Amino acid sequence: MIEIYCVLFFICGLIFGSFFNVVGLRVPKKQSISYPGSHCPNCQHDLAWFELIPVFSYLFLRGKCRSCHTKISPLYPIMEAITGLLFAFTFYKLGFSIELIASLFFISLLVIITVSDIAYMIIPDKVLLIFLIIFIIIRYFQPLYPWWDSIVGGIIGFSVLYIIALISRGGMGGGDIKLFFVIGVILGTKPVLFTLFFASFLGAIYGIGLKLLGKFRKGTPIPFGPFISISAVVSYFYAHIIIDWYLNLFI
């Protein structure tokens, strides 16, 4: 039975992922998320129903607009597939529970800000604010232990990032700082710190990778949002296990 639900959550994730692409690409440009309908950004050709099927349309169209043959960004199907997989995984881990609602919203936020950060290097305030309100409501009904860890987590996440931004002088965007407040509210203190640690680690590996490939350019900003998102998901499911394991090494 659980397999059927996982498949359903996967399909829902694909559809929502497609919607999150739209939100992530339109909200920073202050465009409506409902009007106009999806169209090719190059030739404005309105997409027919069979061009709107998550992942499959991209494969079927071989990554090109049907009308003008401009390449479609692989970011669309990738984010759809990731959302589908994460929705299925989170149901598999949590089953039907209030925490499932928290995790689905959390994944939604992270997918949206990943899209907008990759596309524009922006994490929109509007998106952060809406999700912050949702998370406060969820953590009221499904509190962390102790309940005030949401408040402490938010403040610590925000403060540590703020200090890093001051020291690095612009190495960290304002959106990243506010995002860590929101992550702290949903995850609590230890996991939010783990998120920062792991995101920095992934960012460093990416930087080294670029250097080895000779693609590193000094002064070119790298969007930190995708690394934060990957780390936040890992942290959501595994931070406590990883932290306990690490601390046990010293006992």
Closest CA to 17 of 97, 120, 88: 88
Binding region for Zn ion (CB under 5 A) out of 67-75, 113-121, 168-176, 232-240: 67-75
Q: In angstroms, what CA-CA distances link 206 with 153, 155, 193, 221, 223?
A: 27, 28, 20, 13, 11
Q: Is the peptide bond before 54 cis (omega within 30 degrees of 0)?
A: no
Q: Verify binding: residue 192, Zn ion, rule CB under 5 A.
A: no
Q: Verify binding: residue 65, Zn ion, rule CB under 5 A.
A: yes
Nearer Cβ to Zn ion, position 65 or 172?
65
Nearer Cβ to Zn ion, position 40 or 144?
40
Q: In angstroms, what CA-CA distances link 123 with 58, 134, 218?
A: 26, 17, 23
Q: Verify binding: residue 43, Zn ion, rule CB under 5 A.
A: yes
Q: Verify binding: residue 72, Zn ion, rule CB under 5 A.
A: no
Determine the distance from the C-alpha atom of residue 12 to the mean position of all C-alpha atoms in its chain, rounded to a whole number: 17
x/- mask, Zn ion, residues 111-130, rule CB under 5 A, reads --------------------
Q: Least distance from C-beta 65 to Zn ion, angstroms?
A: 3
Location of structure tokens 């959106």: 175
46 φ/ψ sector (left φ>0, alpha ψ -120 to 50, else beta) = beta
Nearer Cβ to Zn ion, position 42 or 142?
42
Contact 181, 154 (CB under 8 A): yes
Nearer Cβ to Zn ion, position 69 or 126?
69
Binding region for Zn ion (CB under 5 A) out of 37-45, 89-97, 102-110, 226-234: 37-45
Nearer Cβ to Zn ion, position 7 or 68?
68
- How many residues touch Zn ion (CB under 5 A)? 7
Binding region for Zn ion (CB under 5 A) out of 4-12, 34-42, 104-112, 211-219: 34-42
Q: Verify binding: residue 67, Zn ion, rule CB under 5 A.
A: yes
Q: Sign (positive/negative) of CA torsion 116, 122, 123, 129? A: negative
Q: Verify binding: residue 42, Zn ion, rule CB under 5 A.
A: yes
Distance separating alpha carbons of residues 213 and 217, to the nearest angstrom: 11
Nearer Cβ to Zn ion, position 8 or 43?
43
Distance separating alpha carbons of residues 76 and 20, to the nearest angstrom: 10
Which positions touch Zn ion (CB under 5 A)? Answer: 40, 42-43, 45, 65, 67-68
